[in-house]
Amino acid sequence: MLELRPNCECCGTDLPGDSTDAFICSFECTYCRDCSDHTLKGRCPNCGGQLTARPPRVGAALARNPASTLRIVKDKGCSSR
């Protein structure tokens, strides 16, 4: 089951479990749409993997399996690639 990290690792933007603006790599590193598209150009700065839309978890599924509350943010943000 996806961890559903609660924020963008670059800029700290909130990304709730039902967000359609969350992008992840295969290790679940999580970024907002703006950082994924413009700063990172679709590549994870941690592993180099492709960023893809994270499927939103909605309704009862989200209530039963809430998103993580552990926030991870890079100290200096993410640099452009």
Please indicate, yes or no, if residue 77 is contained in any of the structural domains: no
Please indicate, yes or no, if residue 74 is contained in any of the structural domains: no
pLDDT at 24: 98
**How far, CA to CA in Å, does 36 sit from each of 8, 14, 54?**
9, 14, 12
Number of domains in the chain: 1
Q: Which domain holds residue 16?
A: 1-65
Please indicate, yes or no, if residue 72 is contained in any of the structural domains: no
Tell me the mean pLDDT per 10 residues along the chain, length 81: 95 96 97 97 96 97 95 84 49
**How far, CA to CA in Å, does 68 sit from each of 6, 13, 50, 71?**
6, 15, 22, 8
Please indicate, yes or no, if residue 76 is contained in any of the structural domains: no
Q: What is the CATH number for 27?
A: 3.30.40
Whole-model pTM: value is 0.90
Please indicate, yes or no, if residue 80 is contained in any of the structural domains: no
Please indicate, yes or no, if residue 40 is contained in any of the structural domains: yes
